[in-house]
Structure 1
Amino acid sequence: MIDVTAASKQSYTVNLSILFSELPLLERPAAAAAAGFTAAELWWPFGADHTPSQAELDELRKAFTDAGVQLTGLNFLDDLTKGAKGTLSVPAEKERFRENLPVSIALAESLGTKALNALYGNRVEGVDPAEQDALALENLTLAAQAAHAIGAVLLIEALNRNDAPDYPLHTAKAAVEIVDKVNAATGLGNAKFLCDFYHLAVNGEDLVQVIDTYADRFGHVQIADNPGRNEPGTGTLDFEDLFARLTAAGYTGRIGLEYRPSTGVSADSFEWLPRDLRG
């Protein structure tokens, strides 16, 4: 059993795009509540549809409010059914991203969501990377301003190079550099680093050094063990030490559970986490 008392200043949320995925989407908030969670996060939940119908949006809102679960984190448009890793730096997706922006913001505001994740987007063959980076900064500026209007932060994360070889942000340093550029462009200071221990560990980063260097930039932390992307205790990451270091560094934000249950049954994967920490 992992001792998580060192991280008692944090609360833990469940990512309902990867956990409880054995259930239909609208049943997942209630399942999370039954497991003791009062907060959850989602990748963009409507696939390639960047402007879902009002009825679809209302159904999702109702599923969360009926379950008494707050949606604390939401990804902007990212059609993961096609293996996409964000749309904001992809020229062909420019209009879809901008049409999705107010939809995502309205959904977030209606559910009290205070963190919006903007995946950077893969490199596109035949397009100058500098052109993609300029578009990304333009779109991230718009996203940060929209998030600020509802009192939310904009999250930027690094992904692992095995699953996302064409995604240009593979290190904490690379992601934080984008965070700094967005904050410089907006003057708002609400762009933050989403530190995902799993992605960084797969890339071979020293997680202790990442915490020591960038903890003051963290807007959110996500976890899964490595290898396998399953629950803590199934791999080699020393979560007791990592949680203790987060606390020592002054991190009091949420920790998102973004792992696949090793048994395939999500409700059986939380034994390591006391119910009173399931925020």
Structure 2
Amino acid sequence: MTAASIRFDLNCSIQLTDLPLANRPAAAKAAGFDAVEFWWPFSSATPGDAEVDAFVRSINDAGVALVGLNFVDGLPEHRGFASVPDARQRFRDNVDIAVGIAEATGCRALNALYGNRIPGVDPRTQDELARENLVHAAAAADRIGAVVLLEALNSYESPDYPIVSAKAALDLIAELPAGNIRFLADLYHLARMDEDLPALIAAHASEFGHVQIADTPGRGAPGTGELDFAALLSGLVEHGYTGCIGAEYKGSASFAWLPELKGSQ
């Protein structure tokens, strides 16, 4: 894999939001993407069969691959439910549905956002539950050959989210007995945390389960901010990352950056 052959996917939960959800995969395909990802795309943690079937059909009919899907996340208020005691059964029930969607679409990366700290709840209680839930999710994902992703978020936008560095995420992953939990390297969040991105990529790129991008500081499209994506993507390739790069940025659905980063111009 060369820098010019990097495969990009579009996050259709943050982009193309002027369209009905079912129309977004086809619109992504028309814009030049062969793959898509979604946050949890339903209002319920346990949607009915008809909703699930319609979502799967929209992916398959568009001719795109689903490369990433969040477990129920409750964005933006909750930032996930893996560590939330009152949502234990909700999370577990959702795991089965998310894994079923992944099996039906060929998706092999499921993102388990950790969840915010809950006032009045001992952080140790939340951390213990998160470990149990992550291992549970990983066992379910392993049945279809999928991985569970763990993501660090920046504290400016998510002040109650406890995983706010690459080290915190990687250390937790190393402590867990499951062998199919990987780090989701969101370069936007990591840059906002003042991480040394080239050093992190050099040390851990081959361990990343997925990569997402947006420019800093505004979380806009690549080329609208400070990050040198050509260099960062070259580093990912050089140090062994072979997965998709998820475009997860805010603002207008402008994809002028895509051919340039693909190396086609």
Calculate the TM-score normalised by the size of structure 2: 0.95
CA distance in 1, matches of 2:202, 2:32: 31
Q: What is the CA distance between 1:216 and its match in structure 2?
A: 2.7
Q: Which has the higher contact order (CA 8 A, sep 6+)?
A: 1
Give SS of 2:36's match.
strand
> 1:256 corresponds to which letter in structure 2?
G
Superimposed CA distance per residue, residues 20-64 of structure 1 (whole angstroms, 9 cap, x where no aligned partner): 1121111101101111212100000113x1110111111111111
Q: What is the CA distance between 1:6 and its match in structure 2?
A: 5.8
Report if aligned partners of 1:215, 1:251 keep a CA contact under 8 Å in 2. Answer: yes
> 1:31 corresponds to which letter in structure 2?
A
1:168 paired with 2:158, answer: no
Residue number in structure 1 paired with 2:37 = 41
Identify if the C-alpha distance between structure 1 residues 196 and 9 changes in structure 2 by more than 3 Å, giving closer, same or farther: same
Calculate the TM-score normalised by the size of structure 1: 0.90
Superimposed CA distance per residue, residues 234-278 of structure 1 (whole angstroms, 9 cap, x where no aligned partner): 0001111111111111211111000113xx2x1xx2112129949
> For structure 2, which runs of at least 5 residues remain unmatched after alignment?
none
CA distance in 2, matches of 1:202, 1:97: 29
CA distance in 1, matches of 2:65, 2:243: 15
Superimposed CA distance per residue, residues 126-150 of structure 1 (whole angstroms, 9 cap, x where no aligned partner): 1111111110000000111111111
Report if aligned partners of 2:4, 2:261 keep a CA contact under 8 Å in 1. Answer: no
Residue number in structure 1 paired with 2:106 = 112
Residue number in structure 1 paired with 2:9 = 13
Residue number in structure 1 paired with 2:222 = 232
Alignment of 1:128-207 (within 5 A): 128-182=122-176, 185-186=177-178, 189-207=179-197
Give SS of 2:210's match.
strand
Give SS of 1:88's match.
coil
User: Which of residues 205, 210, 219 is equivalent to 2:209?
Assistant: 219
CA distance in 2, matches of 1:245, 1:66: 34
CA distance in 2, matches of 1:28, 1:257: 14
Give SS of 1:219's match.
strand
Q: What is the CA distance between 1:7 and its match in structure 2?
A: 2.1
Give SS of 1:195's match.
strand
Superimposed CA distance per residue, residues 132-181 of structure 1 (whole angstroms, 9 cap, x where no aligned partner): 11100000001111111111111111001111111001100001112112
**Stretches of 4+ moved more than 4 A in 1?**
275-278
Report if aligned partners of 1:160, 1:202 keep a CA contact under 8 Å in 2. Answer: yes
> For structure 1, which runs of at least 5 residues remain unmatched after alignment?
none
RMSD (Å) for aligned C-alpha atoms? 1.7
CA distance in 1, matches of 2:34, 2:188: 23
CA distance in 2, matches of 1:181, 1:107: 28
Report if aligned partners of 1:6, 1:240 keep a CA contact under 8 Å in 2. Answer: no
User: Which of residues 55, 59, 71 is equivalent to 1:60?
Assistant: 55
Report if aligned partners of 1:39, 1:69 keep a CA contact under 8 Å in 2. Answer: yes
CA distance in 1, matches of 2:250, 2:239: 28
How many matched pairs? 263
User: Which of residues 18, 34, 47 is equivalent to 1:22?
Assistant: 18
Report if aligned partners of 1:9, 1:252 keep a CA contact under 8 Å in 2. Answer: no
> 1:42 corresponds to which letter in structure 2?
F
Give SS of 2:258's match.
coil
* Larger CA deviation: 245-254 vs 111-120: 245-254
Give SS of 1:220's match.
strand
